[in-house]
Amino acid sequence: SRGPASAATPPPAARAEAAPGTRLTIVYGSQTGNARRAAEALFERVQAAGLPARLVRADAYATRELASERLLYVVISTQGEGDPPDDAIGFVEFLAGRRAPKLPELKYAVLGLGDTSYADFCGIACRIDARLAELGAQRIAEVAMADLDIDTVAGPWRETALASAAELLKVAAPSTAHVATVTPLRPAASWSHERPFPAEVLANQSLSGREFRGTGFRRYGAIDKDVRHIELSLDGSGLAYEPGDALGIRHRNPELLVAAVLEATRLDGDASVSVGGDALPLSEWLATRRELSRLSRPLLSALAQRSGSADLAALLEPGQPGLAALLADHQLIDVLRRWPADWQPDALLAALRPQAQRLYSIASSRKRVGDEAHLTVDILGYHAHGHAHGGAASGFLAALDEGGQVPVYVEPNERFRVPADGARDVIMIGPGTGVAPFRGFVQERAETGASGRNWLFFGAQHFNTGFLYQAEWQDALRTGELHRLDLAFSRDQAEKVYVQHRLRERGRDLYDWLQGGAHLYVCGAIAMGKDVHAALLDIVASHSGSDAEAAAEYLSTLQKEGRYARDVY
């Protein structure tokens, strides 16, 4: 029963909605959309089976309802070093905190998404799983942990979860309660990671004056900073995006990297290998279907076995501190070289992860550029362990010539959008390629005649080579599309200067803008996002005259209201 009226005659709304105890609740937390998709896939199956269920994004979940749930599935990713996705911060904090209720009547299961190239693999999912058990809930399946090849684990988990739900709800659910509260699903995207659209390259220019012309493969492994502005045509694709969305791309691993892997494993790239009914030359498998840059634990386990290295086997023992460092400092090719092993083509392909999606924040607004999407891409290159290293996807993008093609799709990011109300001010913090979405934001706000002000904080190592889109920003200041620009060039003087230093210097104004209803956005590296958050806490505390706890509450409220959004990677 819910409320006074329901005791006698339940109102129609209450009858249509299955009572909490008789339905499945699926809560998801997702940063890049993978966990959302996994949760949606389960929800669709559950609905098709006629089971009462609802699907709720973690930040929309009313945690006070937790105590009345009877069946809960949590699908959640773990970011990098063990953080929750932004939309699940509140949910995770609530569960971990003292206010979390005892849950003796709850049955639950957790699906984690993560990346075995990080030591705290699926840490958030594991901690939620352990915490729910601690609160007295009954685990109906071991926590499932999916690596980049999500479906390998998520697919079977979905079927088990569905079967358990059918079993449990069949008993609990009265037959009249089969109408669920439904979160509308987004229409299936036409182009996807599995079926990308071949976008034509319209331009590929260096923003840093360090271009290695048209030589992506030779470029691979070079160590100078090179940032590219890439314009792609979406003409004929029907692909739509909003500023804040990302473009997913499917890359080919650079030839030099494929060759290096073949050399280190002493395998023949021309040998035809058949996996799951597909027969391709080994070099082609490596170029298009497997992760060749980032290292993973399963690969290390296979390598330990095949190389017979006791050192490596010891590193993989649970609780070994050396593993995190190995994962952080080495790429696949480094360990293949360091521990020569007896590889067979199919064993190598089985040990490598399927090629994962690469997402780049879109740097344009369709209202200005029409059927195009612009990207701002850092071309990775560095020297380590006696060899040159480069980015797999960024190396591929660097090598694209005008007229060439890139397989793409759109990955929406609904949490990162210009304010619906154009009169709101926006504060954008985006050092390095983190500036990309803000180029789109400023274009969008100009094209829609938004009357609010735009304030950009940008940072780079050097003014000379790092001031991305310098001429455009200066034009925008002149034409009134941009109202304030604060810059932090970290290496142009003896002391490091970062965007958070500029934020602190401008703390008073920044706080006033926020008090006036401004929206705040942060895009760029995870470490920068954390340091900026710390600076914001100090700014809010000192300019509002409150303590640290109140400042945290202030920012957390902004986050919940969608006025403080982060896109960090």
CB of 66 to ligand 2AM, least distance (A): 35
Query: In the bound complex, what is the minimum distance in angstroms from residue 459's beta carbon to ligand 2AM?
Result: 4
- For ligand 2AM, give the closer residue by CB, 49 or 527: 527
CA distance 249 to 241: 14
Rg from Cα positions in the chain: 25
**Residue 205, beta-bridge partner list:** 229
Q: How many residues bind ligand 2AM (CB under 6 A)?
A: 14
State which residue, 90 or 432, has the beta carbon closest to ligand 2AM: 432
Q: Provide the minimum distance between the beta carbon of 433 and ligand 2AM in the complex, in angstroms, as a whole number.
A: 8
Site string for ligand 2AM, 444-483 (x = CB under 6 A): ---------------xxx----------------------
Least distance in Å: CB of 379 to ligand 2AM? 13
Which is nearer to ligand 2AM, 505 or 549 (by Cβ)?
505
Tokens linked to 370: 């029409």
Q: How far is the CB of 208 from ligand 2AM (least distance, A)?
A: 12
436 touches ligand 2AM by CB under 6 A = no
Least distance to ligand 2AM from the beta carbon of 329, Å? 18
Torsion angle (degrees, nearest 10) of CA 260, 265, 268, 273: -110
**Which of 345/390 has CB closer to ligand 2AM?**
390
Among 93, 105, 481, 531, binds ligand 2AM (CB under 6 A): 531
Least gap, CB of 97 to ligand 2AM (angstroms):
28
Choose which of 112, 244, 391, 432 interacts with ligand 2AM (CB under 6 A): 432
Q: Closest Cα to residue 36, out of 410, 413, 565? A: 413
Binding status of residue 528 toward ligand 2AM by CB under 6 A: yes
Q: Which residue is nearest to ligand 2AM (CB)?
A: 432
CA 106 – CA 191 distance, rounded (Å):
39
d(CA 440, CA 373): 10
Instruction: Tell me which residue has tokens 């990308």.
Output: 196
Distances (CA, A) of 186 to 41, 43, 296: 12, 13, 32
Min dist CB 535 to ligand 2AM, Å, is: 9
The structure tokens listed for 526 are 């995870």
Q: Which stretch binds ligand 2AM (CB under 6 A): 176-184, 326-334, 395-403, 488-496?
A: 488-496
Residue range at the interface with ligand 2AM (CB under 6 A); choices 75-83, 121-129, 154-162, 498-506: 498-506
Q: Which is nearer to ligand 2AM, 194 or 495 (CB)?
A: 495
Cβ proximity to ligand 2AM, 88 vs 535, nearer residue: 535
Cα–Cα distance, 412 to 396 (Å, whole number): 23
Helix (H) or strand (E) holding 306: helix 297-307
Q: Are 375 and 362 in contact (CB under 8 A)?
A: yes
Structure tokens at 199: 């976008």
Please name the residues in contact with 508: beta carbons below 8 A apart, sequence gap of 6 or more. 543
Using CB under 6 A, which of the segments 250-258, 385-393, 405-413, 491-499 binds ligand 2AM? 491-499
Tokens of 242: 């909003």
Does residue 223 belong to the site contacting ligand 2AM (CB under 6 A)? no
Q: Specify the residue for token string 């995190």.
A: 324
Residue from 210, 385, 491, 560 touching ligand 2AM (CB under 6 A): that is: 491
The reply to whether 379 sits near ligand 2AM by the rule CB under 6 A is no
- Could you say whether residue 437 binds ligand 2AM (CB under 6 A)? no
Of the pair 197, 498, the CB lying nearest ligand 2AM is at 498
Q: Among positive and negative, which fits the CA dihedral 413, 416, 422, 428?
A: negative
Give the list of residues 6+ apart from residue 328 with CB closer than 8 angstroms, or none: 119
Beta carbons within 10 angstroms of residue 313's beta carbon? 15
Please tell me whether residue 499 binds ligand 2AM under the rule CB under 6 A: yes
Query: Are the C-beta atoms of 359 and 204 separated by less than 8 Å?
Result: no
- Out of 196, 221, 431, 440, name the contact with ligand 2AM by CB under 6 A: 431
Residue with tokens 């009249």: 176
The three-state secondary structure class of 275 is strand
- The residues near 480 (Cβ < 8 Å, ≥ 6 apart) are none
CB of 205: closest distance to ligand 2AM in angstroms? 19
- List contacts with ligand 2AM (CB under 6 A): 431-432, 459-461, 490-491, 496, 498-500, 527-528, 531
